[in-house]
Chain A
């Protein structure tokens, strides 16, 4: 559900404003709300020239998240570690539980601690425009995760947006599934049937990559999903019509668990699955040599580190790139330990480690 929650937050307006450019060769990249080129997060670094000034300034930061999840924990950990390095105190941490009104209250409350920096995922571009106004007008260095309040302009209103490299996530999922299928066969495409920027970009990047880069693989079944709980019945119907499916792409790990259940119930050990974002049950099947071929994840810890660095650079008077993306990583049975650590900054669950 981590991913479902994340997607709900990364909602429509940013999607309307942002564009993923696609070409026949599937070489593409995500560009920012004002058409900005994505800057790799590795380039957003507080150098020695700014470090001492920042450390001596006594800056304070607030982490105002949309929800709680292992993804948010990893982003927070990345931000906190970077803030520690920079001598910046984290004075407030909140979770809005996907409640736009609570997010506004959290912002107001945290402003009593007079933070110089706010890192946040605006729940919704429309509702968050008013919510962040007071902080913006007060000169707080704002760095947003994945979403942008409507009408906010860089660099006047915010320091940076940091997000996943969405196109790469979908593309790497396609590459991983194609590799597992030996570059040929039929595929089922289970996409998120909703107007959400993050999932739409990733799903479409998968489809485009298969269609353009793998001529011997054809997508023979397409089915949207809006309720992850219905994944099993959707997969059952798909398998009934296409019993020889070589692979299934599932939009994120929550519904992938349902698809896995359907494959097991059918005694199917040959159809490969790829999905996005780490999940213990899905990873367990992968390391046990089951249907799951690969999981593509984002580098949540790196997202947090880059957010903290961008905010501090802004306070130091440095130019900050407006649109920053953290890389995607493909996790397979062989790389599950490193992948988990790199994505979420925690060890892989014991069940996954012991099954290897």
Chain B
């Protein structure tokens, strides 16, 4: 008993809050929506499918925030990437489309990274500017038109298909989270990211190439947003300039609720996954409860506010 009590005392509330919050909200919906289809495997799978792009973006953002930077442009990257892939696949094979989508994300990430890492401009302002810049480019790329994606192999791999009855979006989520978690926790790059975010000067003195880390995390963020764009294009079987526009706040909230510090040096990929699923579960459950749209927004906002407040309050201790 003493051991358990001691362990409980040592329990890091901030790390636990996402698990406890996730469980509490899941149980709440499971009980209140018992007869309304919430617990059906179809509905629970839908939540994972619907949150897959946000989860992928959240992984990139965990790296950026952990390094003490932020990326506000990833929503715009999603649209540019999806449109680049869709346009490319109208004339070229699928591989070119995939490369165009991921390449667009990596390139925008590199632009952000160079401005932040080597010109020492604040990432908040740089990515605020590039958010608008690339949102405009996404709109002008196809004159606001949606581009259908008719390549069945692409839509199968990136959103609409399944492998051994497991939907491809679930596979993408699991693989991305697993790789992200390993890189974040068990590689030198992950350690350098955390060291940079914890104290950039100390990291520099200890031999870490801080500018390269900053460039790396922002490129990673852009590439992950590019991948999210491909997943949206596969899921909707089309690309549109509005894709990703509404994901910025959802992804930031998911990452913060998941235990990643806004000021760097601390984060969790698994937490970001749970944060993203939590956001999806809230959307899903509040709709199934039959609330009208305004009430859904109010309740969702209040729950996110409480979750973020608990996370950040504990982090500040």
Contacts and interface: CB of A to CB of B under 8 A. Distances in A.
Interface in A89-106: 90-95, 97-102, 104-106
A109 B43 contact: yes
Contact of A98 (B36, B53, B144, B242): B242
Interface in B220-277: 232, 235-238, 240, 242-243, 245-246
A112 B146 contact: no
A93 B292 contact: yes
The secondary structure that dominates the B interface is mixed
A34 B40 CA distance: 39
23 contacts: A11-B144, A91-B290, A98-B242, A99-B245, A100-B242, A100-B243, A101-B232, A105-B46, A105-B50, A105-B283, A106-B287, A109-B283, A112-B36, A112-B40, A112-B42, A112-B43, A112-B46, A124-B146, A126-B240, A127-B146, A127-B236, A127-B238, A127-B240
B267 to A, nearest CB: 26
Interface size range of chain B in the complex: 35 or more
Interface string B40-74: 10110010011001000000000000000000000
Contacts of A108: 46, 49-50
A65 B296 CA distance: 14
B284 interface: yes
Interface in B23-50: 36-38, 40, 42-43, 46, 49-50
A194 interface: yes
Contact of A101 (B37, B147, B160, B236): B236
B195 to A, nearest CB: 36
A83 to B, nearest CB: 13
B21 interface: no
Interface of A: 11-12, 65, 68, 90-95, 97-102, 104-106, 108-110, 112-114, 123-127, 129-131, 150, 194-195
B147 A126 contact: yes
B46 A109 contact: yes
A113 B36 CA distance: 6
A354 B287 CA distance: 39
B288 interface: yes
B287 A100 contact: no
Contacts of A131: 236
Contacts of A90: 290
Contacts of B211: none
